[in-house]
Amino acid sequence: MNWTLSGEPAKFRGKGLVGDEDFTRYNSVLETTRAKLAQVMESETAEGRARIEQAQAAQLQLRRAKPLSIRWRSRSQQSEKRAQNC
């Protein structure tokens, strides 16, 4: 696909049809949409699906690891308090 839209919002901004705030917001929406579309297109291939699954697995590991490290810290602090009380 040929993405010729990238310059279109700037033309409207240059003509004064779109204000700076709106331009920034619209541009952000376009970039987000492009990123999502690229991800969908990539997911259509086996290699792309594998990369997405790998990224999701890594995110899941990070979410699981954080609570474990917090629990570990809490337990080690409890052990230190017990040692001080003895």
pTM (two decimals): 0.40
Q: Take residue 29 and report the two structure tokens written for it.
A: 């929406």
> What average pLDDT does range 4-30 have in this prediction?
75
> What average pLDDT does range 32-38 have in this prediction?
92
Cα separation, 26 vs 54, whole angstroms: 31
- Our measurement of the distance from residue 9's CA atom to the centroid of its chain's CA atoms, rounded to an integer in Å, reads 24
The C-alpha angle with vertex 29 and arms to 38 and 22, in degrees rounded to 5, equals: 155
Angstrom CA distances, 67 to 2, 20, 60, 73, 79, stand at 45, 42, 12, 10, 18
Residue 44 is given by DSSP the state T
**Percent of the chain at pLDDT above 70?**
72
